[in-house]
Amino acid sequence: MNVLGIETSCDETAAAVVADGWKVLSNCIYSQVASHRPYGGVVPEIASRQHVEILPGILREAIGQSGLGWDDLDAFAVTRGPGLASSLLVGLSAAQSLALRQRRPLIPVNHVEAHLYSLFLPEPPAAAPPPAPPLPMLVLMVSGGHTALVRFEGLGRYRWLGQSLDDAAGEALDKGANLMGLGYPGGPAIEQAAAGGDPEAISFSRTSIRASPRTGDLDPDLCFSFSGLKTALLYLLRRQPELLGPDRLRHLAASFQEAVFNTLLHRAEQAMEKDAYASFGCVGGVLRNRRLRARIEEAARRRRLPLRMAPPSFCTDNAAMVAGLAGATGGPAPADPAAVEIRPDLRLSA
């Protein structure tokens, strides 16, 4: 089954062709980061306008690189949410036109579930899909928009254990980088600035979380909060602006980054203590960070859990995870592609 997937939920314009749910024949991504950089964050109007301009070329590229023709495609898949409404609409209308023109089904995909599926994509070129991980798996999701712990019992069988009550981990890094004058996007900028820095030079205290209306039904021990950390950095820099000096910035960047990662690992380990898991997984844009990958590896080793991490090229937003998920589940696709609607606030459901 050959699926062409489209992803336009935020500021990456992406299309990919994936065969049989795992064989990535093409994975084309245009990052709009240069257009949003002057504003220090994603500007929805700019994002949707750029999707309109860029997507046709990206679609041609995805088909061209796949070696297939339009008639070889068995289905189309598109991210329907969660994400920015105006951005999601661009991807959806393109996918609808293609599905109607080619008389093929259109499979709507949940972006968060697609990130989880990135665990099942092998780094190309690969001759076979990665072996199935032992289940249930505890998955830590760390992206720009979502930070969460999920109990993964199989495709379509998830339990949402906890999430960030304020900023996502990627957002915390983006805001911290902004305070340190490191540019946008902050995650890669901090990683670069932290090279050679001492992650223990400055200690940031961990935010504790109590049950409240914001935690709702979720276990507060498995929820995250990063806004206090950002405020701590702000006040620290007001008191000691010299920390931004040439010899000291790398220590500050390394310590701030480590504080974000300490929170992630601490919560993941609490989840492992509270319940039994057969494996540990991690997905999302922040997992491109080499220090985080090393910390995750160390935690899995300590807990003696088999580990699965999304390959770096499938960590940040991409359409291979969208086409892959659609190919693996085969749907459900509504009879009429025109009936698919965007769902900007879509949640992960079991």
Q: Interface with ligand KG4 by CB under 6 A: which residues?
A: 10, 143-145, 170-171, 173-174, 185-188, 191, 284-286, 288-289, 316-317
Question: Counting every residue, how long is the chain?
Answer: 350
Give the CA diameter of the chain. Answer: 64
Selection from ligand KG4, Zn ion, none that 173 binds (CB < 5 to 8 A by kind) is ligand KG4
Selection from Zn ion, ligand KG4, none that 187 binds (CB < 5 to 8 A by kind) is ligand KG4
State the nearest-atom distance from the C-beta of 286 to ligand KG4, in Å.
4
From the list 308, 313, 182, the residue with the least C-alpha distance to 254 is 182
Q: Which is nearer to ligand KG4, 28 or 173 (by Cβ)? A: 173
Selection from ligand KG4, Zn ion, none that 337 binds (CB < 5 to 8 A by kind) is none
CA atoms within 13 A on the CB side of 133: 28
State the nearest-atom distance from the C-beta of 231 to ligand KG4, in Å.
19
- Decide: helix, strand or coil at residue 16: strand
Sequence letter at residue 198:
D
Q: CA angle, 306 as apex, 321 and 219 as ends, to 5°? A: 75
Q: Which residues of 272-287 are buried (b: 16+ CB within 10 A; e: fewer)?
A: beeeebebbbbbbbbb
Q: Which is nearer to ligand KG4, 10 or 328 (by Cβ)? A: 10
Alpha-carbon distance of 310 to 308, in angstroms, equals 7
**What are 70's two structure tokens?**
């339009």
First to last CA, the chain: 24
Selection from Zn ion, ligand KG4, none that 83 binds (CB < 5 to 8 A by kind) is none
Selection from ligand KG4, Zn ion, none that 286 binds (CB < 5 to 8 A by kind) is ligand KG4
Q: Which is nearer to ligand KG4, 192 or 231 (by Cβ)? A: 192
State the nearest-atom distance from the C-beta of 204 to Zn ion, in Å.
26
Alpha-carbon distance of 35 to 254, in angstroms, equals 27
State the nearest-atom distance from the C-beta of 186 to ligand KG4, in Å.
5
State the nearest-atom distance from the C-beta of 133 to ligand KG4, in Å.
20
Helix axes 227-239, 249-274, angle to 10 degrees: 160
Residue for token pair 């598109």: 78
* Binding residues vs Zn ion (CB under 5 A): 143, 317
Strand partners, 163: 148
Selection from ligand KG4, Zn ion, none that 191 binds (CB < 5 to 8 A by kind) is ligand KG4
Q: Which is nearer to ligand KG4, 145 or 327 (by Cβ)? A: 145
State the nearest-atom distance from the C-beta of 67 to ligand KG4, in Å.
27
Q: Which is nearer to Zn ion, 112 or 233 (by Cβ)? A: 112
State the nearest-atom distance from the C-beta of 51 to ligand KG4, in Å.
15
Residue for token pair 């906890």: 162
